[in-house]
């Protein structure tokens, strides 16, 4: 899908994640996020099992380490055939470039397409106080996010993870072809939970988001398939 709705499979076990996916019709192939909780519990096999059901995988492990370690880890991830994966922009230019090299090398060795490399800018749980006081980064959240987007583009990343509130500024700064994948998406009727910088699917579409990451409004819905379809309708229209 060109502009996917990515369902966050934030489950503690493979059994629960797969049981959730089994509610979807066999012909409805979606994109799902496998994050740290599920991957650490189930390992690479959960990626294979999800792909076997026809779904695309966004492997969201948010790598952040010395360049050599990140490159080696990305070489492994590159072999898994996932569609997207993540690294922290805060790791800097050398680390980001190493991540891309590792992904391409791993994918080439496995004969698969290299995943899109997305850099984490500022988490959607980060607000102005956290940025300035905890991280000791002066200025606005938006300025920090745009800076990280410029750094990521210069380091050969394919896009960033950001709030939909910042995606328009990112596209203005680095180009509309640079992906802005946006978590912190909540339908108007949903709670914000622990997210600070949120937006509805319709507003995110208007802002220019290239893809949405949505967890609890779908995974905890009484009818997850209908919740997914409703959000897709709002997003597409």
Is 101 annotated as a binding-site member?
A: no
Catalytic residue status for 2:
no
Three-class DSSP category at 92: coil
Task: List the beta bridge partners of residue 120.
Answer: 88, 161
Is 195 annotated as a binding-site member?
A: yes
Is 116 annotated as a binding-site member?
A: no
Question: Are 179 and 118 in contact, with CB atoms under 8 Å apart?
Answer: yes
- Residue of 2, 22, 27, 65 marked active site: 65
Residue at token pair 């309708």: 233
Is 66 annotated as a binding-site member?
A: yes
- Residue of 22, 62, 194, 206 marked active site: 62
Is 231 annotated as a binding-site member?
A: no
Distance CA 85, CA 6 (A): 12
Is 63 annotated as a binding-site member?
A: yes
**What angle in degrees, to the nearest 10, is found between the helix axes of 93-110 and 67-77?**
30
Is 197 annotated as a binding-site member?
A: no
Is 33 annotated as a binding-site member?
A: yes
Rounded to the nearest 5°, which phi and psi values hold at 42? -110, -20
Task: List the beta bridge partners of residue 33.
Answer: 8, 58
Catalytic residue status for 116:
no
- Residue of 60, 100, 116, 158 marked active site: 60
Catalytic residue status for 60:
yes
Active-site residues: which are they? 60, 62, 65
Indicate the annotated binding residues: 10, 33, 60-69, 124, 186, 195, 215-216
Indicate the annotated binding residues for substrate: 10, 33, 60-69, 124, 186, 195, 215-216
């Amino acid at each position: 899908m060109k502009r996917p709705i990515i369902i966050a499979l934030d489950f503690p076990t493979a059994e629960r994640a797969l049981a959730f996916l089994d509610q979807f019709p066999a012909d409805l192939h979606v994109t799902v996020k496998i994050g740290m909780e599920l991957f650490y519990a189930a390992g690479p096999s959960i990626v294979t099992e999800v792909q076997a059901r026809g779904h695309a995988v966004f492997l969201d492990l948010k790598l952040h380490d010395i360049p050599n370690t990140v490159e080696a880890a990305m070489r492994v991830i590159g072999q898994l055939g996932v569609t997207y994966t993540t690294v922290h922009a805060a790791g800097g230019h050398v680390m980001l470039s190493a991540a891309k090299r590792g992904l391409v090398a791993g994918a080439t060795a496995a004969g698969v397409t290299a995943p899109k490399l997305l850099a984490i800018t500022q988490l959607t749980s980060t607000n102005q106080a956290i940025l300035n006081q905890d991280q000791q980064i002066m200025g606005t959240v938006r300025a920090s996010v745009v800076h990280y987007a410029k750094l990521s583009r210069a380091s050969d990343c394919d896009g960033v993870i950001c709030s939909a509130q910042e995606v328009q500024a990112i596209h203005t700064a680095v180009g509309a072809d640079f992906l802005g994948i946006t978590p912190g998406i909540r339908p108007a009727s949903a709670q914000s939970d622990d997210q600070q910088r949120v937006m509805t699917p319709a507003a995110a579409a208007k802002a220019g988001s290239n893809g949405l990451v949505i967890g609890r409004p779908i995974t905890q819905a009484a009818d997850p398939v209908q919740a997914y379809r409703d959000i897709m309708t709002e997003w597409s229209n």
